[in-house]
Amino acid sequence: QEAPYKGRRLVKMSEEQKQVGYLHSFLAGGVGGIFLVLVGHPLDTIKVRIQTMHVVPGQEAPYKGMVDCAKKIVEKEGFKGLYRGMAAPLAGVAPMYALCFLGYGVGKHIFCDNDAFEKLKLTQIGLAGATSSLFTTPILGPGERLKCVLQTMESPHYHGPKYNGYKELVSGLYKEGGVSSIIRGSGITCFRDAVASFFYFATYEFLKKEWTPEGKKQPGVFATFCAGGFAGMANWMAMLPIDTVKSRYQVAETGKYSGVTAVARDIMAREGVKGFYKGLTPVLVRAFPANAACFVGYETASKFLIKIGIE
């Protein structure tokens, strides 16, 4: 028998795994991303505040936990404080998710066998998902840098200059260190998202298949909601230590750390292993509803787009 041509792997995939067009991915992914940001950003703000707070030995920590942090933000800044820094992720979600699904598709072509989804070859699916980080980092790298600075400006331990919005922030960072200051932390952002996407897509595809009723191509809305939620929790459990290092590095004063390894050593010396898992509770509380909303938004938009002929 003639060996199957590797470059045509995806053509032989089952119909439910057939890749949709780039316009479809862009539009449906944008809807999913917007849902994710609207639901998850307040908890992301709490996460970043807790991750980047400095604990002085012998003194009470600025925040006792997730609820205390949220309460202090609202008391000092109002509810809008929870949505501080949301403009950057919102502005980037549509192109980011279009690139994410494009990257996932490219990863499937490289790593997945014909029966990878049918037999749930999770390592192959995970590697395909990890490929998406190469496509999203050009947007997420600088976006995360701007978001983290804006989210932490009003926190007690922030000692840098204050900025009134993104335009002033970009200008200030550029004057401080040029383009490299704006994109600081992009490398570790790429690594973080590769790890996250490995578990994200592998978990979602596993649960999606497991919860699809016999004779159906897709699970129901509630099953999709739960699959997306658990996928979000899985990726954050795996990549939170990397995210903690990234956040510390991106909000630190220029010259404080020689690189991300210096940040990791500092966290270990000051706080031990638990320092890498700061903000775990708000992360997991945020991850389920935000990612559940993302996949429900994506799948709903996808069905609508197919109905109007955009496949």
Higher pLDDT, 27 or 202: 202
CA pair distance 301, 285, nearest whole angstrom: 25
Q: Give the angle subtended at the CA of 157 by the CAs of 155 and 161, to the nearest 5°.
A: 80
Q: Are 136 and 96 in contact (CB under 8 A)?
A: yes
Comparing 20-29, 34-43, 79-88, the range with the smallest average pLDDT is: 20-29
What share of the chain has pLDDT > 70, as a percent? 90
Residue 228's pLDDT is 96
pTM of the model: 0.73
Inter-residue contact 252 to 263 (CB < 8 Å): yes
Burial class (CB in 10 A: 0-12, 13-18, 19+), 259: exposed
pLDDT at residue 159, as a whole number: 61
